[in-house]
Amino acid sequence: MVRLRVNGTVREIDLEPRVTLLDALRERLGLTGTKKGCDQGACGACTVLADGKRVLSCLTLAVACEGRDITTIEGLSDDGDLHPVQRAFIARDAFQCGFCTPGQIMSAVALLAEGRAGSDAEIREFMSGNICRCGAYPNIVAAIRDVAEALGHAPV
Amino acid sequence: MRPFDYIRPRDTAHAVTAATADPAAAFLAGGTTQVDLMKDGVLSPTTLIDITGLPLRGVTTQDGVLRVGALTTMEELAADPVITRRLPVVRESLLLAASAQLRNMATIGGNLLQRTRCRYFRDLSCACNKREPGSGCGALTGHHRMHAILGTSAQCIAVHASDLAVALVALDAVLSVLGADGERAIPLTEFYSTPGDTPGIENVLGHGELITSIQLPLLPEGTRSGYLKVRDRASYEFALASAAVALETKDGTVREARVALGGLATIPWRSRAAEDVLRGAPATMITFAAAAEAALDGATPHPGNAFKVELGQRTIVQALSRVAGSQVGDVPS
């Protein structure tokens, strides 16, 4: 049995060691918000937080996450109220098909915590691990900039 | 992915004992190479020894030497205040590599052991002497735009993908390695093996040996260093060519120089030839160009990557002139 703490809830599941965190979340815990894009660490769609740090769940074995605090897109909202980054993505229309969006948002939440939203160039550089095939990048940057400015840690 | 057993060792000695006893065992650290290649079937260990719980994490400085625990992540090392102040070449090589997600996962020890990105190595349907000795090399006559032009052999032209390793060979880093017979120290400049007739052997690490830390001597105060990476995308891409350089100049003359190249060679490539040209010479563009020419002397390009000779030279010149800054004499028009 593997004990996983996901979005504040401890779940015990019977898993083979070869199951990735991504597959455990989607196929075993029903948390399908985290997306499987490339499944080889190149696109960022599977980004989740492990102990507050953004990581790729497709290259992480679930069994190696015992004792770590995992946060997925489902864990961001507070009792139905969307996270400020989620609200900013909607306000800025920062997606088209939406497939990469959960990964973009998880990455953006971490980027803001890292203090890497000092300029548009810095946001672009530190979001480069999240690919958007629809090309919504300008609006993604704008959404992150909005939240950074609201938090007061980015120059206009 | 093939099934495997998973164990968490009690301590580093247990990790080494378990790995040594099982020829098909592998260590798991950040997993960014290991898990990726296990999915592709390129690697298929029967046991994974998860070392992430071992106390091999963190950075300390003593007597001018930085000691980096092997399980320190790339992001953690890039954020270290001593690295930031004294070894910008290391910080730049880290932050220009991968993505924030991967840098949070990947460890320093694992980074140095990462496998090549050669498509023929990673695709089981292709011939690859590195993956399957004697099967041939698909890259030699195939797509090899990204491949090596230094340290190649008739068997393999796969490029070493690490940026950090390039900076660390320039700095004369030393690895501490624990094996069944105890601990040993290996200078990083003597760690990597060019492919020759045995492309499957990439370094001098024995099976079961574990990198526990990396010793990094600080550069003398006043030495300026930097890492320049040239690639197809502005971010999140492997190098076509890169250069880790350090220069100590006085009165317009180079007193000490270090040059190492990435994206161009089968191993992180220290260029003593370039350093010999630089040392004692005026810090001018003419000197830098001569050093760059010496560094690429003897390169063995193939039709698809012949451009890398000039690209490599220009990368070195730009890296050196950027680090030399205002101390450069004749800036070209």
Q: Tens place of pLDDT for every residue, chain A, 156 residues?
A: 899 999 999 999 999 999 999 999 999 999 999 999 999 999 999 999 999 999 999 999 999 999 999 999 999 998 889 999 999 999 999 999 999 999 999 999 999 999 999 999 999 999 999 999 999 999 999 999 999 999 986 544
Strand B5-7: give its sheet, edge to edge: B5-7, B47-50, B25-28
Whether residues A35 and A17 share a domain: the answer is: yes
The Cα–Cα gap between A63 and B239 comes to 33
Whether residues A68 and A43 share a domain: the answer is: yes
Mean pLDDT across B187-212 = 98
Summary mean pLDDT of chain B: 96
Last residue of a domain, one of B177, B195, B217: B217
Minimal CA–CA distance to B26: which of B53, B7, B1? B7
Whether residues A70 and A135 share a domain: the answer is: no
Tens of pLDDT, residues B93-126 = 999 999 999 999 999 999 999 999 999 999 999 9
ipTM of the prediction greater than 0.90, yes or no: yes
B172 Cβ contact list (under 8 Å, min separation 6): B187, B188, B189, B217
> Where in the sequence is the domain holding B37, given as residue range(s)?
1-50
Whether residues A39 and A101 share a domain: the answer is: no
Minimal CA–CA distance to B56: which of B107, B114, B112? B107
Whether residues B167 and B96 share a domain: the answer is: yes
Contacts 24+ apart (CB under 8 A), B26-30: B27/B51, B27/B210, B28/A61, B28/A64, B28/B52, B29/B70, B29/B71, B29/B107, B29/B109, B29/B110, B30/B73, B30/B105, B30/B106, B30/B107, B30/B110
The answer to whether the beta carbons of residues B179 and B204 sit under 8 Å apart is no
**What's the CA angle centered on B93, arms B278 and A109, to 5 degrees?**
160
Whether residues B169 and B312 share a domain: the answer is: no
Mean pLDDT across B323-331 = 63
Whether residues B14 and B109 share a domain: the answer is: no
Q: Say if A53 is an interface residue toward chain B (CB within 8 Å).
A: yes
* B135 part of a folded domain: no
* A21 part of a folded domain: yes
Minimal CA–CA distance to B11: which of B51, B71, B69? B51
Whether residues A70 and A7 share a domain: the answer is: yes
Judge: B101–A54 Cβ closer than 8 Å, yes or no: yes
Q: Say if A14 is an interface residue toward chain B (CB within 8 Å).
A: no
The CA–CA distances, whole Å, from B116 to A41, A50, B160, B217 equal 15, 27, 5, 27
* A156 part of a folded domain: no
- Point out the residue among B4, B36, B235 whose CB comes nearest to the CB of A59: B36
* A104 part of a folded domain: yes
Question: Which chain A residue has the Cα nearest residue B105?
Answer: A55
Whether residues A71 and A7 share a domain: the answer is: yes
Q: Pick the residue of B54, B104, B231 with the most A CBs within 10 A to test the interface with A by mutation.
A: B104
The answer to whether the beta carbons of residues A10 and A4 sit under 8 Å apart is yes
Whether residues B100 and B235 share a domain: the answer is: no
Question: Which chain B residue has the Cα nearest residue A66?
Answer: B53
Mean pLDDT across B86-91 = 97
- Which residues from chain A sit within 8 angstroms of residue B43, using beta carbons? none
Whether residues B79 and B173 share a domain: the answer is: yes
Judge: B102–A60 Cβ closer than 8 Å, yes or no: no
Q: Higher pLDDT residue, B330 or B79? A: B79
The Cα–Cα gap between B94 and B106 comes to 11
**pLDDT computed for residue A152 by the predictor:** 85
- Which residues from chain A sit within 8 angstroms of residue B75, using beta carbons? 53
- Which residues from chain B sit within 8 angstroms of residue A116, using beta carbons? 100
Whether residues A7 and A71 share a domain: the answer is: yes
Whether residues B196 and B278 share a domain: the answer is: no
Whether residues B283 and B302 share a domain: the answer is: yes
The Cα–Cα gap between B168 and B173 comes to 5
What residue spans of chain A are helical by DSSP H?
21-23, 84-91, 101-114, 120-126, 137-151
Whether residues B290 and B212 share a domain: the answer is: no
Whole-model pTM: value is: 0.96
Q: CATH code at A64?
A: 3.10.20.30
- Which residues from chain B sit within 8 angstroms of residue A48, using beta carbons? none
| DSSP single-letter state for residue B325 | G
* B3 part of a folded domain: yes
The Cα–Cα gap between B31 and B70 comes to 14
Q: Pick the residue of A128, A130, A132 with the most B CBs within 10 A to test the interface with B by mutation.
A: A128
> Where in the sequence is the domain holding A27, given as residue range(s)?
2-75
The Cα–Cα gap between B95 and A112 comes to 17
CA A127 to chain centre: 11
Whether residues B76 and B197 share a domain: the answer is: yes
Whether residues B317 and B244 share a domain: the answer is: yes
Question: Which chain B residue has the Cα nearest residue A114?
Answer: B100
Side-chain-side CA neighbours of B103 within 13 Å: the count stands at 25
**pLDDT computed for residue B328 by the predictor:** 53
Tens of pLDDT, residues B164-176 = 999 999 999 999 9
Judge: A110–B1 Cβ closer than 8 Å, yes or no: no
Last residue of a domain, one of A26, A56, A75: A75
Whether residues A71 and A124 share a domain: the answer is: no
Mean pLDDT across B77-84 = 97
**pLDDT computed for residue A149 by the predictor:** 96
* B86 part of a folded domain: yes
Q: CATH code at B195?
A: 3.30.465.10
Q: How many CB pairs under 8 A join A and B?
A: 74
Q: Smallest CA–CA separation between A66 and chain B, in Å?
A: 11
Could you list the beta-strand ranges (E) of chain B: 5-7, 25-28, 47-50, 59-62, 65-69, 174-179, 182-187, 210-217, 224-230, 241-250, 253-262, 269-270
Whether residues B184 and B291 share a domain: the answer is: no
**pLDDT computed for residue B326 by the predictor:** 56
Name the one residue in this structure whose structure tokens are 């088209």. A96
- pLDDT of residue B293 exceeding 90, the answer is yes
- With 0-12 CB in 10 A as exposed, 13-18 as middle and 19+ as buried, what is B123? middle
A55: its two tokens? 């990581």
* B118 part of a folded domain: no
Q: What share of chain B is helix, strand, coil (3-state, %, to 5)?
A: 30, 25, 45
Whether residues A9 and A69 share a domain: the answer is: yes
Whether residues B190 and B248 share a domain: the answer is: no
Q: Say if B1 is an interface residue toward chain A (CB within 8 Å).
A: yes
- Number of domains into which chain A is organized: 2
Q: CATH code at B5?
A: 3.30.43.10
Mean pLDDT across B158-184 = 98
The answer to whether the beta carbons of residues B270 and B259 sit under 8 Å apart is yes
Tens of pLDDT, residues B16-64 = 999 999 999 999 999 999 999 999 999 999 999 999 999 999 999 999 9
Whether residues A19 and A40 share a domain: the answer is: yes
Last residue of a domain, one of A28, A47, A75: A75
- Number of domains into which chain B is organized: 3
Q: Pick the residue of A14, A54, A58, A106 with the most B CBs within 10 A to test the interface with B by mutation.
A: A54
Q: Say if A41 is an interface residue toward chain B (CB within 8 Å).
A: yes
Q: CATH code at A94?
A: 1.10.150.120
Last residue of a domain, one of B217, B238, B265: B217
